[in-house]
Amino acid sequence: MSYPMTQPRLGGQAFNHHQSSGAEAEYDRLRGLARAAHDQRSREQYNKQAADFIFRENNAVGRVDSDTIDLHGLYVPEAEDILEQRIRYAQSTGQTHLHV
């Protein structure tokens, strides 16, 4: 799914912690490629890569507790999709709570 660049982003910034300039540059590069893509499929692929990248960076081992997910930097529809997946996973593994 492609998201317009005017879509609200959770947290107002991509990273919820100090991030290396390399990680920030990679995130910016992927979102820029999505904006510049001329076809819907390419936009969706670049947006998905950017969303996956920012989620992995913000939720790397040691950055958040195992019962917590950080959705900063994601567009709202991206965050909703990830949250639904994470809730299903938590339920299937017997977790009783999840911090978002």
Exposure string for 49-78, b = 16+ CB within 10 A, e = fewer: bbbebbbebbbeeeeeeeeebbbbbbbeeb
Summarize the confidence of residues 13-40 as an average pLDDT: 71
Q: Per DSSP, what are the bridge partners of residue 99?
A: 68
Predicted pLDDT of residue 75: 86
- Please, which residues have CB within 8 angstroms of residue 90's CB and are 6 or more apart in sequence? 67, 98
Predicted pLDDT of residue 5: 44
Q: How many CA atoms lie within 13 A of 57 on its CB side?
A: 23
For residue range 30-82, what is the model confidence (pLDDT) as tens digits?
A: 778 878 877 888 888 878 888 898 899 889 999 999 899 999 888 899 999 99
Residues 36 and 5: beta-carbon distance below 8 Å: no
pLDDT interval class at 7 (50, 70, 90): low
Q: Which helix (H) or strand (E) holds 40?
A: helix 40-58
